[in-house]
Amino acid sequence: MGELVAATDLRVQPDHHMFGIGDQTAGFGGRAPLPGRGWLGVGSSAVLIGAAEDLVCPALRLEYWDGEPPTGPPDHEAQETTSLLLPTGRLALDEITGGAVPDVFVLPPGVYALRITCWNRERVRREFEALCRGGLDWDGPEFEAARAGLAGQERYLFQFWLQAPTSALLGSTGVLIHPGYDRLGITDSAARVTLIPPAEAEPLTVGPSSVLIPMEHQHGRPALRMESWNGPPPAPGPDHPGKQLRLHLPSGRLDLLHLPAGPAGVGEISAGMIPRIFDLPPGDYELRLTRRGSEPGEDARKERQLIQFWPIR
């Protein structure tokens, strides 16, 4: 049986009957779907909870265990166990339009089992509904005192325990690609690329410090995310096979190039350049390029490219 390592207690302000917990640098696919008619939405790196009421603040407890915790008392209203990838381990509290509260809990990076247990959801919903129908002035002290008395009665317990450690995600950036370009280029600023060959069907390196990526532009503006890891990131799933390359980055200052399908000279390269879009320590890197799936609530036809860098040891 596991032992409790760390814990923290929070009060949550739901919005649109929701709040969430997740790795605060979650990337493509990391966002959780809306709970819908249920009470829980699960992404790869975050969860969304369907709270009973917006105007009553639930209590939230986060726990980190060194193994699977005890099942707990049997009087809970609902309980689910899932798995999350937490590439930084830095958890943020998502209060929807209220914004995110960063670093509410910090764990070692890894893949975690997460057991979520809740109490008193329906009771708080019924009692608050009765309060609203009771004829009290919503701006009066009696209503406010009764509402305050319900705060913290709806309770959620999040229990994390490590299933597998992973490399750590160190930094990331994202950009929407301009329409009308057939390729992207990622190049080290010190490489001084002056001529780029015509388009190929697959990603390819141009010299030791640049890579070209074909784009499909199926629908809308493609999204590009770049990540820096301290070691090999978790392997992509079978639905998202990746292409792996090696680059030498003499300065570590990366420029993004928007390129036409044909040969590109200095003029075309300069016209489509966004300089210094991402910084890495100089050195030799593995690069994994992966086409990713859609985010919850977004058009599945939108193209998403993920580039992950990690140093060659």
pLDDT, position 144 = 84
Give the long-range contacts of residues 213-216, CB within 8 A, separation 24 or more.
Answer: 213/183, 213/184, 213/185, 213/186, 213/289, 213/305, 214/182, 214/183, 215/177, 215/181, 215/182, 215/183, 215/184, 215/303, 215/305, 216/303
Looking at the domain 169-311, which fold is it?
Substrate Binding Domain Of DNAk; Chain A, domain 1 (2.60.34)
CB within 8 A of 144, min separation 6: which ones?
A: none
Report pLDDT digits (tens) over 151-191: 889 999 999 999 999 999 999 998 888 877 888 889 999 98
Mapped onto helix, strand or coil, the DSSP state of residue 220 is coil
Which pLDDT band holds residue 218 (cuts at 50, 70, 90)?
A: low
Which pLDDT band holds residue 26 (cuts at 50, 70, 90)?
A: low
> What CATH number belongs to 4-165?
2.60.34.30
Residue 78 has pLDDT above 70, yes or no: yes
pLDDT, position 92 = 95
pLDDT, position 86 = 95
Dist. CA 33–CA 121, nearest whole Å: 20
Burial pattern 277-302, b for ≥16 Cβ within 10 A else e, equals bbebeeeebbbbbbbbeebeeeeeeb
Specify the residue for token string 């009087």.
Answer: 75
Whole-number average pLDDT of the chain: 86
Question: Within a 10 A sphere around the Cβ of 149, how many other Cβ atoms?
Answer: 12
CB within 8 A of 217, min separation 6: which ones?
A: 179, 182, 303
Would you say how long the chain is, in residues? 313
pLDDT, position 152 = 86
pLDDT, position 270 = 77
Q: For 127-188, give the DSSP string.
A: HHHHHHTTT--TTSHHHHHHHHHHTTTSEEEEEEEEEEE-PPEEEEEEEEPPTT-SEEEEEE
Specify the residue for token string 């978790």.
Answer: 234
Residue 297 has pLDDT above 70, yes or no: no
Say which residue, 123 or 261, is predicted with more confidence.
Answer: 123
Which of 50, 72, 88, 35 lies closest to 159 in space, CA to CA?
A: 72
pLDDT, position 20 = 94
pLDDT, position 67 = 96
CA–CA distance from 257 to each of 148, 183, 200, 210 (Å)? 55, 8, 16, 10
Residue 212 has pLDDT above 90, yes or no: no
Dist. CA 193–CA 270, nearest whole Å: 10
Q: At 190, list the tokens.
A: 């010190």
Say which residue, 252 or 203, is predicted with more confidence.
Answer: 252
CB within 8 A of 1, min separation 6: which ones?
A: 67, 68, 69, 70
pLDDT, position 277 = 94
Specify the residue for token string 């057939």.
Answer: 182
Same fold, 4-165 and 169-311: yes
Dist. CA 20–CA 32, nearest whole Å: 8
pLDDT, position 189 = 92
Mapped onto helix, strand or coil, the DSSP state of residue 97 is helix
Report pLDDT digits (tens) over 61-73: 999 999 999 987 7
Residue 296 has pLDDT above 60, yes or no: no
pLDDT, position 200 = 67
| Predicted model pTM | 0.86
Kindly give the residue spans of alpha helices, DSSP state H, lying in 219-284: 266-271
Report pLDDT digits (tens) over 254-267: 999 888 777 777 77
Domain ranges of the chain: 4-165, 169-311
Residue 201 has pLDDT above 70, yes or no: no
Residue 217 has pLDDT above 70, yes or no: no
Average pLDDT (13-34) is 83
Which pLDDT band holds residue 205 (cuts at 50, 70, 90)?
A: confident
Mapped onto helix, strand or coil, the DSSP state of residue 269 is helix
Average pLDDT (196-209) is 73
Residue 49 has pLDDT above 90, yes or no: yes
Dist. CA 276–CA 189, nearest whole Å: 7
